[in-house]
Amino acid sequence: MNYMNKNRKIAFIEIVIFVIIVVLNGINILPISSTIYLLLLVWITMKIQKETRDKIGFTVSRRSLGKSILVGIFLGIILELFATYFTTPLFSHFFGMQPNLSEFQMVKGNFMLLLFFIFLSWILAAFGEEICYRGFLMNRIAILFGQNKFAWTLSLILSCILFGWGHTEQGITGWMQEGLNGLFLGIIFWASGKKLAVPIVTHGVSNTLAFVLIYLGKYPGIF
């Protein structure tokens, strides 16, 4: 019992620090991407507690790697097409505004910037955000609430809300869309046996397709 209470207390502290980082980034206090700070938090806490990558699902066997990549590619394409042509227009109509993607406007028609942002998105978003939000945060929230089905359901909901908040620079429409993306990625993580391989590929492919559409001027919020 004491061991469980200790784990929950530690998880609570880690979650609070995680939330503070995301909020500070959301109100433009932290420079650069919040993912860098979150990855540092994950690395430090896992080192202190002597946890392995398995603890956050950052492992994959060679036997299942090919399947994980194929499934991730398929889900990534579906996720981005669904977001681009259904949910983002729906949110844009409801809130009366498209997502604010002005920071990516420069990518339109610029092939070198397209390649740069695709590379950056795989590092910071596909790997970075999945390690932080799905692998780390969802596990910590589940530990805090008892690691049962209810705890994981609550973990899924809370993590996707915070994930959406982490994209507040995109306005309410972008916030809602990214939160929904976080929900889908969380479901994929859960359905994958709490392993990160499939959601990482899904996230990376989705972002790659998004940047290609931005490059072509075919993405909502890009003019």
Report the mean per-residue pLDDT for the chain. Answer: 93
Of the pLDDT bands very low, low, confident and very high (cuts 50, 70, 90), residue 177 is: very high
CA dist 9 and 198 (Å) reads: 30
Of the pLDDT bands very low, low, confident and very high (cuts 50, 70, 90), residue 3 is: low
pLDDT at residue 2 tops 80: no
Domain-located, residue 203: yes
- The gap from C-alpha 190 to its chain's centroid, in whole angstroms, comes to 14
pLDDT at 183: 97
Q: Which residue has the higher pLDDT, 176 or 221?
A: 176
pLDDT at residue 221 tops 90: no
Of the pLDDT bands very low, low, confident and very high (cuts 50, 70, 90), residue 6 is: confident
Domain-located, residue 208: yes
Domain-located, residue 23: yes
Domain-located, residue 146: yes
Q: Is 3 exposed, middle or buried (0-12, 13-18, 19+ CB in 10 A)?
A: exposed
User: What's the mean pLDDT in 131-157?
Assistant: 96
Distances (CA, A) of 148 to 99, 155, 158: 36, 10, 15
Predicted confidence (pLDDT) per residue in 153-174, tens digit: 999 999 999 999 888 888 899 9
Q: Which residue has the higher pLDDT, 171 or 189?
A: 189
pLDDT at residue 62 tops 70: yes
Domain-located, residue 77: yes
pLDDT at residue 184 tops 70: yes
Domain-located, residue 222: no
Distances (CA, A) of 217 to 38, 95, 105, 108, 214: 32, 22, 9, 6, 5
Structure tokens at 194: 């709490």
pLDDT at residue 178 tops 70: yes
Structurally, the chain folds into a number of domains equal to: 1
pLDDT at 61: 79
Domain-located, residue 221: no
Structure tokens at 140: 């910590």
Q: Which residue has the higher pLDDT, 60 or 116?
A: 116
Helix (H, G, I), strand (E, B) or coil at 79: helix
pLDDT at 32: 83
pTM confidence score:
0.93
Q: Which residue has the higher pLDDT, 29 or 39?
A: 39
CA dist 128 and 114 (Å) reads: 19
- Which range marks the domain in which residue 34 is found? 2-215
Domain-located, residue 48: yes
Predicted confidence (pLDDT) per residue in 105-117, tens digit: 999 999 999 999 9
